[in-house]
């Protein structure tokens, strides 16, 4: 559309399409953002699980691809911004890239339908390559779409406001942020529920197609809503290959500065002024504005480095805590929903109460000051996380160091045994059977025996004896005496199972870290005289055999034990993060499973997840001050033809932050998690001090005003054309000089 015609349209819209001082077109943009964020975060919520349990990738591959995808989503904004500002304009870019995005979501949803390759109908796909190829294609399209439109939507929203609506413009960015978080909150709650449903044509499986299909549908809705508002938008036309001109102008300025490096040439105020001979003052001024802001962005990725650990380190921390809130149980990964919930409450509180109050007190809480304070809040959040970690560490088992081994002995033999352990007093190990029979007569204090029940060790771990040598010899007081040479695994916990026939004793490796995702690890030792089938176990257990650990979730769990003829049921309530070995006695069926005894290998988590709320509160307060303000700042300080580019620059700080998380996760493992949190907090404090110094020297500008002034000057500048001609002549002369010198 020609400029003059577009301006006319704008003027008409100004009068007709306003409600309470806001352009009505904003409604379509915020609804579009809500649906898009629902689509994005909903898909992200189940992505790792899809990799892990559908594509059957291991944990490392699943998390690496996941983080690579997130990083890509924050790198593509620069592409979207270039397309919008230089070629298609924001409106068309949003439409075209949203189509790419929606197609990506649909491809992703299709890739999760196991029936498309399950020819033998066994419930698992037959052609994993096809599913992987489709999902990777889907993810690349999604990254291109979501990243591409991201800088355009916020900037396009800003474009809808007129000069007299600057107060409404600030509120818009807050509402925009609220919509992002409302969308993300709803989808993060809904999509995991959809995944947990069972669906399928030939066999019923976890319903990934629904979990990915609903976000795909929301993306289509987002596109339709955006197009529906088409007639009401203020659309600014792209101004040609602006990025190309910017790069050429910067290159020329640097080159020209180098050519005039001698002291005989008078200095210029700014190095970009060395482009004046060839380029418009307006373009130079615009580039100066953008560079000043981009320079300020340099320290910002550190904020995102801390912020994005909510989803990784903090969720892992939650898996070592208990989420039992009495009436309901919160899963560790659900703790992340605290962030959008707090955003929904904190943004209005800040906008309506805190910021106006600060203003009333006469304090100048400028955007850059807010961002600095936001960084400090995030640093404090990490101190809070470190304090919580210290509490958790107190409750964690004392795992062996890499040079130590730990051993526990379980006696399934019918008599007590005395074992002589190197550098220990001889230990009495009560018999499982003896103790079982004396359970009700209280002849022994602990019917669930381990050696530790009877002997006090100098070691700090009560259930295990810790050795700092690998090869040990144990002597048992049987007739004849049994001597057992053991080769212990360094850095590991092992249990020596003494079956009914003591000479057949064997070592079994124990769990040596907290079970994943707050689950509980359980295993069974079969003291029954025949093989046993137990629900949830991979295979049946031979007599005297010990099963591998199996993971069970929190809550009441039921196990059915059967030898093919008789069966009984064993139920137990589990908390979070515990581990048990269940000993099956020889009178299993006559006692209806009641005689099963348990050994606690690892106690359940006892620090409550509610203790994470302060750190979530602090980081979210930091986010409101830093992120919402940063979004507004990036828009307000950008020249009109580079608004999307600066939004993209802002989003790139997030991508760099994510990449730092990836690098730190690989390299920078400190031995203590709380120390790592303190390190990150200190780094952010240092960075925020640097940022505040940079911010101190930054002068806020009104790009529109500067642009208008330069245009006015240019109109009355007769030298402009002459300058260009002189420069071209100079260049030609230079080239000739070079040629002559060569000759």
Ligand X SMILES: NCCCC[C@H](N)C(=O)NCC(=O)O
Residues found near ligand X in the complex (CB under 6 A) = 37, 41, 177, 180-181, 184, 188, 336, 339-340, 343, 623
Q: Of 154 and 249, which CB lies nearer to ligand X in the complex structure?
A: 154
Give me the least distance between CB of 384 and ligand X, in Å please.
18
Q: Of 184 and 286, which CB lies nearer to ligand X in the complex structure?
A: 184
Report helix, strand and coil shares of the chain as percent, to nearest 5.
60, 15, 30
Residue number closest to ligand X, CB atom: 184
State how far the Cα of 133 lies from the Cα of 88, in Å rounded to an integer. Answer: 30
Q: Of 32 and 450, which CB lies nearer to ligand X in the complex structure?
A: 32
How many CB atoms are located within 10 Å of the residue 609 CB? Answer: 26
Peptide bond into 480 cis (omega under 30): yes
Give me the least distance between CB of 335 and ligand X, in Å please.
11
State how far the Cα of 627 lies from the Cα of 40, in Å rounded to an integer. Answer: 19
Contact 375, 626 (CB under 8 A): yes
Give me the least distance between CB of 77 and ligand X, in Å please.
11
Give me the least distance between CB of 65 and ligand X, in Å please.
19
Give me the least distance between CB of 338 and ligand X, in Å please.
9
Q: Of 451 and 651, which CB lies nearer to ligand X in the complex structure?
A: 651
State how far the Cα of 321 lies from the Cα of 605, in Å rounded to an integer. Answer: 5
State how far the Cα of 246 lies from the Cα of 715, in Å rounded to an integer. Answer: 22
State how far the Cα of 174 lies from the Cα of 186, in Å rounded to an integer. Answer: 18
State how far the Cα of 323 lies from the Cα of 608, in Å rounded to an integer. Answer: 6
**What 3-state class would DSSP assign to 590?**
coil
Q: Of 245 and 339, which CB lies nearer to ligand X in the complex structure?
A: 339
Q: Of 336 and 435, which CB lies nearer to ligand X in the complex structure?
A: 336
Beta-strand ranges (E) seen in 164-267 are 198-199, 205-206
Give me the least distance between CB of 180 and ligand X, in Å please.
5
Contact 181, 343 (CB under 8 A): yes
Give me the least distance between CB of 39 and ligand X, in Å please.
12
3-state secondary structure 256-307: HHHHCCCCCCCCCCCHHHHHCCCCCHHHHHHHHHHHHHHHHHCCCHHHHHHH
Q: Are strands 427-429 and 417-420 parallel, antiparallel or unpaired?
A: antiparallel
Compute the radius of gyration of the chain from its Cα atoms. 33
Give me the least distance between CB of 637 and ligand X, in Å please.
19
Q: Of 181 and 322, which CB lies nearer to ligand X in the complex structure?
A: 181
Give me the least distance between CB of 188 and ligand X, in Å please.
5
Q: Of 279 and 650, which CB lies nearer to ligand X in the complex structure?
A: 650
Q: Of 421 and 684, which CB lies nearer to ligand X in the complex structure?
A: 684
């Amino acid at each position: 559309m020609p400029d003059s015609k577009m301006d006319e349209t704008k003027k008409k819209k100004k009068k007709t399409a306003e409600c309470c001082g806001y352009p009505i077109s904003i409604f379509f943009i915020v609804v579009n953002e809500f649906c898009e964020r629902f689509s994005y975060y909903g898909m992200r919520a189940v992505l790792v699980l899809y990799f892990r349990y559908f594509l059957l990738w291991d944990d490392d591959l699943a998390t690496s691809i996941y983080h690579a995808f997130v990083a890509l989503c924050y790198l593509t904004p620069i592409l979207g911004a270039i397309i919008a500002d230089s070629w298609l304009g924001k409106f068309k870019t949003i439409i075209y890239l949203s189509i790419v995005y929606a197609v990506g979501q649909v491809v992703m949803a299709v890739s999760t339908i196991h029936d498309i390759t399950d020819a033998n109908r066994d419930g698992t796909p037959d052609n994993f390559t096809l599913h992987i190829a489709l999902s990777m294609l889907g993810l690349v399209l999604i990254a291109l779409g979501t990243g591409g439109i991201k800088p355009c939507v916020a900037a396009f929203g800003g474009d809808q406001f007129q000069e007299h609506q600057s107060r409404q413009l600030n509120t818009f960015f807050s509402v925009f942020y609220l919509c992002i978080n409302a969308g993300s909150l709803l989808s993060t709650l809904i999509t995991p529920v959809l995944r947990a449903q069972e669906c399928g044509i030939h066999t019923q499986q976890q319903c990934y197609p629904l979990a990915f299909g609903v976000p795909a549908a929301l993306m289509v809705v987002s596109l339709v809503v955006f197009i529906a508002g088409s007639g009401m938008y203020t659309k600014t036309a792209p101004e040609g290959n602006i990025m190309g001109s910017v790069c050429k102008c910067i290159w020329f300025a640097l080159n020209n500065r180098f050519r005039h490096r001698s002291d005989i040439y008078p200095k210029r105020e700014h190095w970009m002024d060395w482009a004046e001979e060839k380029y418009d003052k307006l373009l130079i001024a615009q580039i100066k504005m953008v560079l000043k802001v981009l320079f300020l962005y340099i320290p910002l990725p550190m904020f995102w480095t801390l912020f994005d650990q909510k989803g990784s380190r903090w969720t892992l921390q939650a898996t070592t805590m208990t989420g039992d809130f009495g009436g309901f149980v919160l899963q560790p990964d659900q703790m992340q929903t605290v962030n959008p919930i707090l955003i929904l409450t904190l943004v209005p509180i800040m906008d309506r109460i805190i910021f106006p109050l600060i203003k009333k007190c006469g304090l100048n809480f400028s955007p850059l000051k807010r961002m600095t304070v936001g960084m400090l809040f995030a640093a404090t959040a990490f101190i809070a996380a470190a304090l919580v970690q210290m509490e958790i560490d107190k409750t964690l088992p004392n795992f062996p160091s890499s040079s130590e081994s730990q051993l526990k002995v379980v006696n399934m033999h019918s008599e007590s045994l005395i074992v002589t352990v190197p550098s220990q007093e001889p230990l009495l190990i009560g018999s499982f059977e003896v103790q079982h029979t004396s359970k009700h007569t209280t002849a022994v204090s602990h019917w669930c025996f381990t050696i530790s029940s009877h002997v006090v060790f100098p070691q700090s771990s009560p259930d295990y004896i810790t050795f700092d040598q690998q090869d040990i010899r144990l002597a048992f007081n049987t007739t004849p005496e049994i001597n057992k040479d053991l080769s212990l695994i360094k850095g590991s916990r092992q249990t020596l199972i003494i079956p009914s026939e003591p000479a057949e004793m064997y070592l079994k490796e124990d769990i040596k870290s907290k079970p994943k995702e707050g689950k509980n690890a359980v295993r069974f030792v079969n003291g029954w005289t025949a093989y046993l089938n137990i629900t949830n176990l991979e295979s049946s257990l031979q007599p005297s055999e010990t099963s591998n650990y199996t993971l069970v979730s929190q809550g009441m769990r039921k196990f059915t034990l059967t030898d093919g003829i008789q069966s009984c049921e064993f139920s137990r309530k589990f908390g979070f993060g515990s581990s048990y070995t269940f000993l099956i006695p020889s009178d299993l069926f006559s006692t209806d499973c009641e005689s099963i005894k348990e050994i606690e290998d690892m106690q359940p988590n006892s620090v409550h997840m509610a203790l994470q709320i302060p750190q979530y509160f602090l980081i979210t307060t930091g986010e409101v001050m830093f992120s919402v303000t940063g979004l507004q700042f990036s828009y307000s300080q950008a020249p009109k033809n580079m608004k999307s580019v600066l939004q993209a620059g802002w989003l790139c700080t997030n991508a760099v932050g994510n990449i730092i998380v990836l690098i730190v996760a690989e390299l920078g493992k400190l031995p203590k998690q709380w120390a790592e949190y303190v390190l990150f907090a200190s780094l952010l404090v240092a960075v925020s001090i640097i940022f505040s110094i940079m911010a101190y020297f930054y002068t806020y500008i009104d790009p529109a005003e500067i642009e208008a002034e330069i245009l006015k000057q240019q109109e009355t500048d007769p030298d402009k054309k002459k300058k260009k001609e002189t420069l071209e002549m100079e260049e030609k002369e230079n080239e000739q000089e070079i040629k002559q010198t060569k000759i």
